[in-house]
Every structure is written in structure tokens, then in C-alpha cells.
Structure 1
């Protein structure tokens, strides 16, 4: 695989870099570095305004086809955009679930009417989405979903009852995409439907879950007779499992390359910290820092290879296992980085710096990166996918 960029791609990189340099200024200058995993509570209204500014300038949904409001960028140009966005330390985007997950899912599985209704507000960052998958008894085992959906007597609405948990961004979103059991008595993957549900209604209650890091980007969501229109179902009733899995296939797209750039900035910060406090003189810590650097370069090359395979139709999240491998690699690398940062800090890392005793960036990375190996598909689930669907090993006993 050729990992070099053409002259056209490099010209596009210069365009993206110049745009971000010019526009991350004035009122937006102070947003640099804010937001992101574990920090979604930071400057939310201001980051929403920044995202809407990007939309007006044509820099949202850059990989979407032009007929759906995107820029129709090539794979490599999408990679460039996300890398430069991360390199500019631009603020965490508020529209990720709509842009990277809901939009592509509607294009693949939705009706023309659904696309016309929901895609333009995603591009404009006027409506935000949250993911209603996990439940108290159906986190990693999504097929165990118990939230129920039934059609009203007149057939005009779906009525939902149940509970979702770990629902990212539900506290500031307008819509949920929900996997619910719509066929009584059905089990596992059968009888599930993929519904689009408005959050602002009497039958939906959102309860933020406070994290160790102080934020509350995860939520519990309770449905008590919640309603949504009968035509706001993606795919056929009872066939929602295929739609749900299709959405997860979009989850590990080109934005992961921007994630790797963000990791590189964090690693550079840990190295600078080690040099400043003398920890770099410890041969064990120095070896771990060097290993992290090498692993990060390998991770980036592998991510590019994975994207090429998926785009070329040679792999899928379950088929060749590339998506599962990448999730395992980056999640565990980032968790180890958090541990390495704390070891570089030494005993001082156990203390808050000063009143009001907020966590430092390194303490926040250490604590939040524990979740990296769980959300988006836990390590155990990814290993089972690789073992059972790729290597053909016996299925794990389920009792």
C-alpha cells in the first residue's frame, strides 16, 4: 500500500491548515484543546458555536457525498482533514455521533424521506444525536436488549418503555437512535428494531452519570411511554440488528487518524514532562517512552492500512477483523499512556495541584483511559469477534 500523499493532497493539507489557523482566532482562540473524551463538559455552548461556524464554512461531514451536503472528499483527504484538525488542537466536536454514525447509517439503510429530514440538520449542526444501545443487562452483549417498542393502536407511533445506560451526550442532544425489542417473545438478534426517538418529550428522562473525571458525558435514559412516529424506523421492523451492526461498522472511520495525532501530542507532553522533572533519566521509564513512540507509529501505519482495506471492500469489522484489532490496539496503548504519565509524575501525581482541586490533564487521562477498553466495544467483545468470526474458534459458552 502506498502511504504517500499526492501533490493535490498536500495542497489540500495546506488549505485545511490555513483555514484552521485563520478561524481558530478571535472568540474561538480560547477553545483550543477543550472538549474531547472525558472533557465533553468543557465550553459546550462555545464549542457548539464553533461547530456551527465550521458548517457555515463547509467543513462538516467532509466525507459525505455532495448530494447529501458533504464535500465528497477522498479517503486520504478525509484523513488529512482529521489529522490537521487534531494537529491544530481544535476543540472537540459536538456532532461526532451524527456526522460519523447516524448520517452514514441513514444513507445506507434509511429512506429518501428520512435522509431529507435528518441529514441537512446534521450537516448544519442544528440537531445532535446520542446512541441508545447499552442497557444495564445489555452492554457488551447488545443482543440482550430488553427495552420494548410497540406500535400504538392506531399504528401511527412507536411507544417505548425501558432503560438505556452509558448514553453519550444524551444530556445535550435532541435525538436518540435506539435499538429496541419490537417483537414480544423474541430473543437475541431477532425481533429488534432501530428507531429514531426525540429526546425532548415527557416520556424520556435523562440522568447524567458523574464520572471520576468530574464530567457527565455518559447518561442513563429512561423511556416511560415515550413516542416516536411510526415511519421513524430505519430498516424493517424486527430487522434492526443488521442496521445496528452497520452503524458500528462506521464507528471506526477516518476520524481515528485524528485520534492518533491527538495521542502523539499527549505522548510528546509526557516526554516533555519527563525531561523537565528528571524522570527521563530512569532507564526503565525512558525505555517505556521510546516503546510508546514506536508503537504509535505502527498504530498509524496500521490504521491507514485498515482504512484502505475497508474502503477497497477487502475487509469489514467482523470479516477480516481489522476494526476489532485497531480498537484493541489504540485502547490499550492509551490506557498504558495514562499509567506511564502517572509514573513520570511520581508521587506528586496523587495530589491535586491547588484549589479548587481539579484534576490535571495527566490525572484525567489516567482515569478516563480506563474506559477506553470498554466503550465502543469492550476488549472481551473484540477478542471474541476475532476468535469466533475470524479465526473460527469455538464460541464462548454463554449461560
Structure 2
């Protein structure tokens, strides 16, 4: 297959690179940076409908932008959950009113989103969620909802009250909205009776966010507690009771063009490990050299596989492609983290020399890579779950018995 880019793609690459070079050095804080991207028309390049503030480009140029963004070392995106997960889901399942309300603020970088899926006891087994959403009486307006929640603390009519806990919620501490998978049919089990709701986070006393501090010292993950939080009835995506279908559709969008941008970062990490191996003399070990070469070859293979499957995303024959991609890069990244420690030798276990009471637990890049990559084969669906999806949905093998 021909994986080369054409002249128009390369012209687009030059435009993207020039725009990034002019702005990345003085890039503002993350939220302001999202607005800067919105003003430049760089959010929502992959959306397949006009009229929501984005400019449409074809798939190859989406790849070009993702790669140039990664190469530029621009700030980490805080709007990617809204742009790459919720927006395609609304385009596929949302009402015209939902699209008009939510897509323009995402394209402009004005509203940030988080994902309310995983719960304690319902991570990879998402169908086991226990968060509920109970309907209130009919009637009421958006203004009435806002007044009732913020002033009187009462639930408005024509809405749902959401109660439960979500965990491992990325960027919940920054988000304006959360798309929540909740059980709206009392007594329902597994994937039945679920709905996909859009819930505002600014509900003091009804939505609480607690950051989870990790071994790496960071806390981008959070616990989110909903105590009668309000979601408007017209903000149910795909219809009440159809949440499982919408949620699974969203997961199919999760590993698209962004996978190729992710691989740019992987290549840079591999380069750092290679340089460390040369500096420490570990590169003279034939076993280490073999592991380095294998990692390089596997990374190239992942890129070709991503490009090959990108154009068929969402098609019936694509049922297992996202799981294959997750399975490949999750294991690859974890092995890279292990090798990063191996080539450093005993020094890998030693912290920096400038530890202090104010900074008691600082890790360097290689140590953070090792610790964080341990989770790559677990979050977003464990390896076991990905293999089950591939077996059942792609290969048509019998389903595992459920006790």
C-alpha cells in the first residue's frame, strides 16, 4: 500500500507547521491555548458536517495536523475529549439541537469535557455500572433549571437526577461538562436500561471532583461524585435506554487519528532510551540492541497498521481494529518503560540530587515513563477485554460464559 502524502497534503503540513512555530514558544495556559486553536480553525478538522465553526479537511490532512502538533511539542490538549470523543458521537447520534448547542463551543475551545464511564467495580466491565439517573416531572426550561439548581438547590422538572460515582475521570477538575453513562431504567441489568447523558459540572453540592494523586506525583485522574446532579431530558444522546449503543460507538472513535500523533511521542521516547543506552554503554549488550531494534520495528508496524485501518473506521469489517491498536501500543509502551529502566542500570532507582522537603518526590522522564506505562495495558480496557472483543466481534468466536 502507498502511505505517502500528496502535494496538497504537504502544503497543508507547511501551513500547520508555520502556525505552530509562531505560537508554541509563547503558548498560553492550557484553557487559553484551546481558544487559540479554535480561533485558528484547528479544532474539529475531522468532523463530517459543516456549520459548527470548524473547517473540513480530508483524512490525510487530519493525520498531517496530528503529527505536526506532536512534533511541535505544543501544550498537551485539554479539549481532546470533547473534540475527538463527544463531537463524533454527537454527529452520529445527536439531535440537530444538541449539535447546535454543543459543537460550536467545542470547535471554539470554549467548553471542555470529561468522560463519565468507569466506576469502582465497573471499569473494563462497563456494563456493571451502578450510577443511576431518575426522571423528574415534565416541563421546565433551561433558565428554570439553572435557577433551581444554583439558587434553590431543587431539581427542575423535565430532567434527570444523576446519583453515583465515577473514577479515573481524566481532566474532570478542568471540565465544564461530563458525558455520563447511567442506568435510567430501574431494575435493569448489564447493558440494558442505560442512557448517555450530558451533565454540567458546575453544580455545587451536587457534583464533587476529588483528584487522585498517582505514584508519578501527578493527578490528572479524578473521582467524581454525583449527588442528585441535574441533566436536562433533551440532553440524552441517542434516546433514553440506548446508552450502551452510543457508548460503544464513542469507544470506536477513541483510537483514530490521535493514535498516529501518539506514535510521534512514542518515537521521541524511544530516541531518549536509545541515547541513554549509548551513554551508559548498555547498547553494547546484544540483548539490549535486539530489544531496541524490535521496539523500532514494532513502532513502524503500528504506524502502518494505523494508516491501513484509519480509512475503514466505523465500517462493519472494522469491529476489532480499535482493540488491535490498543493491544499493540499498550504492550509496546510498557516494554519501552521497562527498557528505559534497564539501560540506566542501578541509577534508575535513584531519585534526583535536589530533593527537598518542598519537593520530596520528583521523578525524571524515564522514571515517569516506567511507572505510567505500567497502566497502559489496563486503562481504556484491559488486554483481556481487548482480546475478548477481537475474538467475539472480529473473529466470530463463541462468547465467554458468564457466571
Partner of 2:10: 10
Q: Distance in 2 between matches of 1:358 and 1:373?
A: 24
Q: How far off its partner does 1:46 sit?
A: 1.1
Partner of 1:51: 34
Q: Distance in 1 between matches of 2:222 and 2:55?
A: 33
Partner of 1:40: none
Is 2:288 aligned against 1:289? no
Structure 1 length-normalised TM: 0.92
Q: Secondary structure at the match of 2:256?
A: coil
Q: Is the 8 A contact 2:323 2:389 kept in 1?
A: yes
Partner of 2:382: 378
Q: Secondary structure at the match of 2:161?
A: strand
Q: Distance in 2 between matches of 1:73 and 1:174?
A: 28
Q: Distance in 2 between matches of 1:160 and 1:197?
A: 9
Q: Distance in 2 between matches of 1:198 and 1:24?
A: 31
Q: Secondary structure at the match of 1:193?
A: strand
Partner of 2:67: 83
Q: Secondary structure at the match of 1:89?
A: coil
Q: Secondary structure at the match of 1:184?
A: coil
Q: How far off its partner does 1:292 sit?
A: 0.6
Deviations 1:218-237 (A, max 9, x none): 11111111112121111111
Q: Distance in 2 between matches of 1:195 and 1:308?
A: 29
Partner of 2:161: 159
Q: Distance in 2 between matches of 1:73 and 1:396?
A: 42
Q: Distance in 1 between matches of 2:316 and 2:7?
A: 27
Structure 2 length-normalised TM: 0.91
Q: Distance in 1 between matches of 2:377 and 2:56?
A: 32
Q: Secondary structure at the match of 2:305?
A: helix
Q: 2:86 aligns with which of 85, 88, 102?
A: 102
Aligned residues: 378
Q: 1:63 aligns with which of 37, 46, 71?
A: 46
Q: Distance in 1 between matches of 2:97 and 2:371?
A: 43
Structure 2 unaligned segments of length 5 or more: list them.
139-156
Q: 2:186 aligns with which of 184, 187, 190?
A: 184
Q: How far off its partner does 1:132 sit?
A: 0.4
Partner of 1:361: 365
Partner of 1:200: 202
Q: 2:97 aligns with which of 113, 122, 142?
A: 113
Q: How far off its partner does 1:103 sit?
A: 0.9
Partner of 1:299: 302
1:213-228 matches, cutoff 5 A: 213-228=216-231
Q: How far off its partner does 1:314 sit?
A: 5.8
Partner of 1:42: none
Q: Secondary structure at the match of 1:292?
A: helix
Q: Distance in 2 between matches of 1:269 and 1:379?
A: 27
Deviations 1:129-158 (A, max 9, x none): 000001112111111111111111345110
Q: Distance in 1 between matches of 2:341 and 2:194?
A: 44
Q: Secondary structure at the match of 2:227?
A: strand
1:264-283 matches, cutoff 5 A: 264-283=267-286
- Which moves more between the two structures, 62-71 or 154-163? 62-71
Is 2:396 aligned against 1:397? no
Q: Distance in 2 between matches of 1:214 and 1:367?
A: 11
Structure 1 unaligned segments of length 5 or more: list them.
29-44
Q: Distance in 1 between matches of 2:238 and 2:33?
A: 34
- Which moves more between the two structures, 332-341 or 48-57? 48-57
Is 2:140 aligned against 1:138? no
Partner of 1:255: 258
Q: Distance in 1 between matches of 2:191 and 2:316?
A: 26
Is 2:4 aligned against 1:21? no
Q: Secondary structure at the match of 1:231?
A: helix
